[in-house]
């Protein structure tokens, strides 16, 4: 079973092509066509009129992180450090502590995500054994005035709601 080989014809060797200028004019004609088309009717631009028109965020889209909670609003995370271990950008910084409410033995005391370092790969979500971290907030634009404001803390992660219902999220393949 050999690989299928597709021979691509080499271009640019004929005399006309080697003269450059004619090919350049051809190319310029193409770009001018686009310019003219758009000048004549700028409704035909292939753009979304952001920020007035916001993009529609699909369920599987990886947005800003959040930490999920138990029904009684306590943190689900057990501070197992799987996300921190798997994070290729090293942007998750957890400090663990004793959990006394009996839901688990361990819980995060600090849970910092440095969004400036995060590459939004979603490995943390994949790695989490208790579905405690998700990237389903639908937040795609994070702005701030200070470097420090990009470090999300436990409180911020816990209070951010998810953008989708549980069924939608599950259906998204998570």
Partner 1 sequence: MSPLDYLMIAIRVAFSAFVPLCFVAVCVWMERRGAGYFQDRSGPNRAGIFGFRAAGLVQNLADGLKLAFKEDIISQHIKHKFFFVLAPVIVFFTAVVSFAVVPYADTLVLNGKSYMMQGIPVDLGILWFIALAGFSVYGIILAGWSSSNKYGILGSLRSAAQVISYEIPMGLAIVSLLIVYGTVSLNEMAQFQGKLLFGFIPMWGAVLQPVGMVIFIIAAFAECNRTPFDLAEGESEIVAGFHVEYSAMKFAIFFMGEYVAMFASSSIIVTLFFGGYQIPFLSTATLLNWAKPVAFLLMIALPVVMYFFAGWIRRSNVSHYPRENDPRVFEANVYIKCFWGLIVILELVLLAILFSPSGGAAASIFVALLQICTLLLKVTMMIFVFIWVRWTLPRFRYDQLQKLGWQMLLPLALLNIFITSAVVVALS
Partner 2 sequence: MADKIKLFVNGVEVEVEAGKNLIDAVGAVGIEIPHLCYHPALGADGNCRMCLVGIEDGRPPLVPACKTPAQEGMKVLLDAEHIKKIQHDVMEFELINHPTDCPVCDQAGECKLQDYYMSYDHAKSRMNVPQVVKGKKMDFGAGVVHDQERCVVCGRCVRFCRQITKTGELGIINRTDDARVNIFPGRPLANRYAINVVDLCPVGAMTSKDFRFKQRVWFLKKAPGICHGCSKGCNITIDHNREKYKDDIIYRFRPRLNEQVNGYFMCDEGRLSYKKENEGRLTEARLGTKVRPIDDVLAACSKEMEQAAKIAILLSPNCSLEQMVTVQALAEKIGAALSGYSEGYIKTGDGDDYLIQDDKSANRAGLNLLGIDSSKEGFEKAVQEASLLLNFNNDLTLSYQENELTKLLKDTKIVAVAAAANQCTAMADMAIPVASFSEYAGTLINCDNILQHFAKAITKNEDLADICTIAARLGSPLQNDNERYSVLQKCISALKEFGVDQIPAEGLNLKKSEAANVTA
Question: Footprint of partner 2 on this chain (CB under 8 A)?
Answer: 78-82, 85, 90, 93, 96-98, 104-106, 129-130
Q: Is-contact 59 168, C-beta < 8 A? A: yes
**Residues 6 or more apart in contact with residue 166 via CB below 8 angstroms:** none
CB of 90 to partner 2, least distance (A): 6
Pair 94, 110: CB distance under 8 Å: yes
Of these, 1, 3, 53, 100, which contacts partner 1 (CB under 8 A)? 53
Instruction: Report in angstroms the alpha-carbon separations of 28 from 7, 105, 137.
Output: 28, 68, 44
Distance CA 109, CA 23 (A): 65
Q: Which does 78 bind (CB under 5 to 8 A by kind): partner 1, partner 2, none?
A: partner 2
Specify the residue, 30 or 145, whose C-beta has the smaller distance to partner 1. Answer: 30
- 161, 68 in Cβ contact below 8 A? no
Nearer to partner 2, 77 or 135 (CB): 77
Q: Does 34 bind partner 1 (CB under 8 A)?
A: yes
Binding residues for partner 1 (CB under 8 A)? 20-21, 24, 27-28, 30-32, 34-35, 38-39, 41-47, 49, 52-53
């Amino acid at each position: 079973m050999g690989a299928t080989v597709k021979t691509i014809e080499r271009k640019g060797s004929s005399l006309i092509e080697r003269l450059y200028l004619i090919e350049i004019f051809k190319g310029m004609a193409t770009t001018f066509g686009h310019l003219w088309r758009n000048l004549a009717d700028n409704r035909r631009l292939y753009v979304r009129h952001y920020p007035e028109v916001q993009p529609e965020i699909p369920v599987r889209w990886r947005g800003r992180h959040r930490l999920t909670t138990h029904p009684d609003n306590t943190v689900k995370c057990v501070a197992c450090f799987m996300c921190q271990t798997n994070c290729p950008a090293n942007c998750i910084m957890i400090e663990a502590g004793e959990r006394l409410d009996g839901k688990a033995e361990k819980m995060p005391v600090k849970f910092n995500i440095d969004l400036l370092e995060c590459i939004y790969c979603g490995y943390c979500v994949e790695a989490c054994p208790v579905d405690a971290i998700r990237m389903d907030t639908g937040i795609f634009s994070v702005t701030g005035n200070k470097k420090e404001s990009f470090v999300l803390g436990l409180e911020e992660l816990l209070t951010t709601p998810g953008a989708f219902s549980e069924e939608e999220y599950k259906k998204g393949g998570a």
